[in-house]
Amino acid sequence: MFLRALRSAGHNGPKAARGFSSTSVANAAEVKSLGVIGAGQMGLGIALVAAQKAQVPVTLIDNSQASLDKGLKFADKLLEKDVSKQRLTREAADAARGLLTPSTKMDDLSSVDFVIEAVPEIVDLKQTIFSNLAQIAPKHAILATNTSSISITKIAAATTTDPTDLQAPARVISTHFMNPVPVQKGVEIIRGLQTSQETMDTAIAFVQRMGKVASVSADSPGFLANRILMPYINEAVICLETGVGGREDIDNIMKTGTNVPMGPLTLADFIGLDTCLAIMNVLHQETGDSKYRPSGLLRRMVDAGWLGKKSGKGFYDY
């Protein structure tokens, strides 16, 4: 009925307000090479999709050779699966794999056009990486982070260590990919206080080349995805904790009532309850709003080591 009403009013769907197009790419620079820092699940996924969809050479950096080997082995597995399911030709798979170059040396990012950092959510670690990138990467390179919760403005400030490059903070932005990267289409683009419009346009254009859909967010606690998702999960945990509904009832009503692929408690298990708690703590601390206070049950489950799928036990057993 809602769609019919829109059509009868002469609309095909919601439109952006005039002057507020969030995916303009008028000032985008060309990206011919990419560097990815971190060979874990997120970093590897970003590197593989960039090689496969954007068809750019990717330098994959990790300080652990074992992590690089494990990541590339996983890339081979994903490519073989796509070939076996005829989603990708053998030639295309080989071409994508050939664009991935592993390295343990940050100095190998000295000639890339775009860098995406995908390391754990540790402020000091990210600031150290960006401080080094400001001195290693070319002066035109976009310096992006995959952070899901840390202020982009704070990360950008770490690049002021090079007095010869006063524009480094303007080239810092967040490209927050959704997990798993080869499957999920969404990418949050978050600009810091210092981020230039050219950096913004270039980031949007590049993730679109990767076959992704860009959504622009302000540099605010939780950004868009987690600002909406985590309170939803937290409220589901509160409903369980206070006896409003049982585990299966909570998940089933959301799946069958709102057509989401998995219920909030199952999703929390897949994300990791420790990650959910950490993000809720950030939202609560940085906004000071009691509506973001983490559920007591969520805290206790993390204290017990029941972190979800990765620990074998969460709201469900794995």
Q: Which amino acid is at 19?
A: G
DSSP summary character for residue 39: -
Residue stretches of the annotated binding site for NAD(+): 38-43, 62, 121, 126, 148, 179, 310
Handedness of CA 223, 228, 233, 234 (dihedral sign): positive
272 torsion bin: left (phi>0), alpha (psi -120 to 50), beta (else): left
Size of the chain, expressed as the number of residues it contains: 318
Binding positions are: 38-43, 62, 121, 126, 148, 179, 310
> If you search the block for the tokens 């703590």, which residue do you land on?
281
For the four alpha carbons of 83, 88, 90 and 95, in that order, the dihedral sign comes to negative
Would you name the residues annotated as active-site residues?
A: 148, 176, 188, 226
Between CA 216 and CA 176 the distance in angstroms is 10
Query: What's the distance, CA 224 to chain centroid?
Result: 11
Which residues, other chains included, contact 21 with Cβ-Cβ below 8 Å and sequence gap of 6+? none
Chain Cα centroid distance, residue 228: 15
Listing DSSP states for 68-85 in one string gives HHHHHHHHHHHHHHHHHT
CA distance 198 to 28: 6
Percent helix, percent strand, percent coil in the chain, to nearest 5: 50, 15, 35
